[in-house]
Amino acid sequence: MSKPDTAEPVKLIFSLFAKDAAIVNETIEIVSSSYGKPDFISAILPFDYTDYYCVEMGPSLVRRFLAMEKLIRPEKLPDIKLATNAIEEKSALNAKRRINIDPGYISKAHLILATGKSYTHRPYLRDGIYADLTLIYQGKKFCPLPWTYPDYADEKQLLMLGKIRDKYLLQLKMLEQ
């Protein structure tokens, strides 16, 4: 019989994209006021892997990734997704989002994103929020899965996320001391 144990804390991350960098940077400030200081902020990157968001947000979107310094309990992810949905709604103009915020977390074993969309590989968490198993850590690197979004499967993002995981592992060691 297995004995339930408390999950390790995890590293909270965000992907933010919008029509212009100013909206992304403003949203970083808002997110930081709720979840603490980031210990990683990516450069401004083009978000050109899909045109799915163009109708709502326009073309030529830009993106930044954040990793937060403070580790979280993994069961907090639905609360964080609901809060980021509220931020998106508050900044909307004419019922169209100006910012997309995708929260998730890095653990030793995987990268999980929060989503409101059900699918076969997305177990339900609560309150309309699902966990999207986006990447697994195997063979000393993050590995995409058949359903991984192309932008998360990109080698540059995999390397970036691996560096964030390295920092997370150091944080876990500090907690053990």
Say if residues 137 and 143 touch (Cβ distance below 8 Å): yes
CA-based nearest residue to 142, from 13, 16, 8: 13
Say which residues have a Cβ less than 8 Å from residue 10's Cβ, sequence separation at least 6: 71, 72, 73, 74, 105, 106, 107, 168
Quick one: pLDDT at residue 106? 98
Write the CA distances from 39 to 97, 99, 116, integer angstroms: 27, 21, 27
Identity of the residue numbered 42: S
The SS3 of residue 102 is strand
Q: Three-state SS for 154?
A: coil
CA dihedral sign of residues 128, 133, 134, 140: positive
What secondary structure does DSSP assign to 27-78, as a single string? HHHHHHHHH--EEEEPPPEEE-S-STTHHHH-SSEEEEEEEEEEEE-GGGHH
Q: Which residues contact 50 (CB under 8 A, 6 or more apart)?
A: 149, 150, 151
pLDDT digits 0-9 by tens, 77-91: 999 999 999 999 999
Q: What's the rounded mean pLDDT across residues 6-32?
A: 96
What was the pLDDT predicted at 53?
81
Q: In terms of Cα–Cα distance, which of 62, 50, 72 is closest to 25? A: 62
Q: What is the pTM of this model?
A: 0.95
Average pLDDT, the chain: 94
pLDDT digits (tens, 9 = 90+) for 39-62: 999 999 988 888 878 888 888 899
pLDDT digits (tens, 9 = 90+) for 82-139: 999 999 999 998 889 999 999 999 999 999 999 999 999 999 999 999 999 999 999 9
What local confidence, expressed as pLDDT, does residue 58 receive? Answer: 84
